[in-house]
Chain A
Amino acid sequence: MDVQEATAEGTATAENGEVKRDGRKQFSMGPGDILEGKLIYDGSVHADGRVEGEVRVTGNIDVANGATVKALLEGGNVTLKGQVEGMVTARDKLTLGKNARLSGDIQVRRLQIDDGATLNGHVRMGDFEHQASGQ
């Protein structure tokens, strides 16, 4: 993919990340923020605004209500409340909130879909081969 590389390998703490109470980092976006590219992050990501590309984190991903995401997402717990287009991998649990709209294939260990959510795609569940390093 030729999007501009915005790779942040655990170094984004200074500007973007806040250290949460439990000591884990969080990369937090606001509704007007835009991320294009590939983000690999040692911590959790709160995605809002617009995200395009690829996001792989060691922690959790949550996509806010109102966010627009066209990206590959991979995280531990993934919680979607906005609109997502792309493949989603949750090493633990994927939650689709009632306003979530996901179109893309998903691979999860656990899955929760709330009434009102929209899903179009293949669902694979269970333990899966680790493919952390992308291509």
Chain B
Amino acid sequence: MSTRRPASRVATPVPAENGSNHGERNSVVLGPRDRLVGQLYIEGDLRVAGTVEGNLEATGDIEIAGAGKVNGDVTAYNRLTVGSDASLIAGDVRVARLTVEDGATFSGKVSMGKRSAAKAPAPEPQLPREPQPQMLAEAAPRSPEPVTVQVAEAPAPQAVVTPQAKSRISVSEALNPKAVSAPQQKSKVAPTPPPKPVQQKGKRR
């Protein structure tokens, strides 16, 4: 069997912005003395010769080689190989292709064929949104809905009030650039306490 080579895989598309090595597929190896307890998501290939307790997910291939032992769910968008001395005790195994060598220990619920393995790779590759003006970060925390933020993005940067204007900006004001740029005259909002340096991250869509 020629499945032992770590880097000879059929290419699966991996997002280009995947950090590490450009163009090549990312590959992670857990050696015989390595041990992982927890969850692991890899954009690329994963080779386990050590012990894993927890769930594994890889956009490429997963190989449980040598005397590797995995106890947990396994999702491989491409291929899963369980070597002849390896062990996989899983709840769920979702793979596109599966090879189990004679001698391997293997149990679990296997799903393959339909693209069940390739549900959207939700984990946050694009968390860092474009930086938002400080003003918005100050104005937003009071209003629960993100509408304010989206609408307020429309005006050009100069339309955004300088940080001295401490009044809150209502949605209607935000819709009207003039109102925003001249808050001192038309502000209907009572002065509010000084802005908190709160910066919202995440959660915003």
- A interface vs B, CB < 8 Å? 93, 95, 110-126
Residues of B1-47 at the interface with A, using a CB-CB cut-off of 8 Å, are 3
- For A118, list chain B residues within 8 Å (CB): 112-113
A118-B113, A119-B112, A121-B110 in contact; A112/B98 too (CB < 8 A)? no
For chain B residues 88-135, which have a beta carbon within 8 Å of chain A?
97-113
Closest-CB distance, B54 to chain A (whole angstroms): 20
CA distance A58 to B75 in the complex (A): 36
How many Å lie between the Cα of A112 and that of B103 in the bound state?
A: 8
- Contact among A117, A122, A124, A126 for B98, CB-based, below 8 A: A117
Are the CB atoms of A120 and B105 closer together than 8 Å? no
Quick one: which of A93, A95, A120, A125 contacts B106, CB cutoff 8 A? Answer: A125
Complex Cα spacing A124 to B102, Å: 15
Contacts of A119 in B (CB 8 A): 98, 110, 112
A29 to B104, CA, bound (A): 32
Secondary structure at the A interface, as helix, strand, loop or mixed, is: strand
Q: Check B102 against A112 for contact (C-beta < 8 Å).
A: yes
Given A118-B112, A120-B112, check contact A93 B102 (CB 8 Å): yes
The answer to whether A122 touches B106 (Cβ under 8 A) is no
- Which B residues are in CB contact (< 8 Å) with A112? 100-102
- Which one of A113, A116, A119, A121 has the greatest number of beta carbons of chain B within 10 Å? A113
A123 x B108 contact (CB < 8 A): yes
Question: Which of B98, B105, B108, B110 has the most CB atoms of chain A within a 10 A radius of its CB?
Answer: B110
Query: Are the C-beta atoms of A110 and B102 separated by less than 8 Å?
Result: yes
**Chain B hits for A121, CB < 8 A:** 109-110
Could you list 20 A-B pairs, sorted by A, with CB under 8 Å? A93-B102, A95-B102, A111-B102, A111-B104, A112-B101, A113-B100, A115-B3, A115-B79, A115-B98, A115-B99, A117-B98, A118-B113, A120-B113, A121-B109, A121-B110, A123-B106, A123-B107, A123-B109, A123-B110, A125-B107
> Whole-angstrom distance between the alpha carbons of A125 and B86 in the complex?
14
With A115-B98, A122-B110, A124-B107 already in contact, 13 other A-B pairs whose C-beta atoms are closer than 8 Å: A93-B102, A95-B102, A111-B104, A113-B98, A113-B99, A118-B113, A119-B112, A120-B112, A120-B113, A121-B110, A122-B108, A125-B106, A126-B107
A113–B3 Cα distance when bound, in Å, is 13
Q: A39 to nearest B CB, angstroms?
A: 27
How far is it, in angstroms, between the C-alpha of A11 and the C-alpha of B20 when the chains are bound? Answer: 67
Q: CB-nearest residue of chain B relative to A98?
A: B99
**B97 and A116 contacting across the interface, CB-CB below 8 Å:** yes
Partner of B109, one of A114, A116, A122, A125: A122
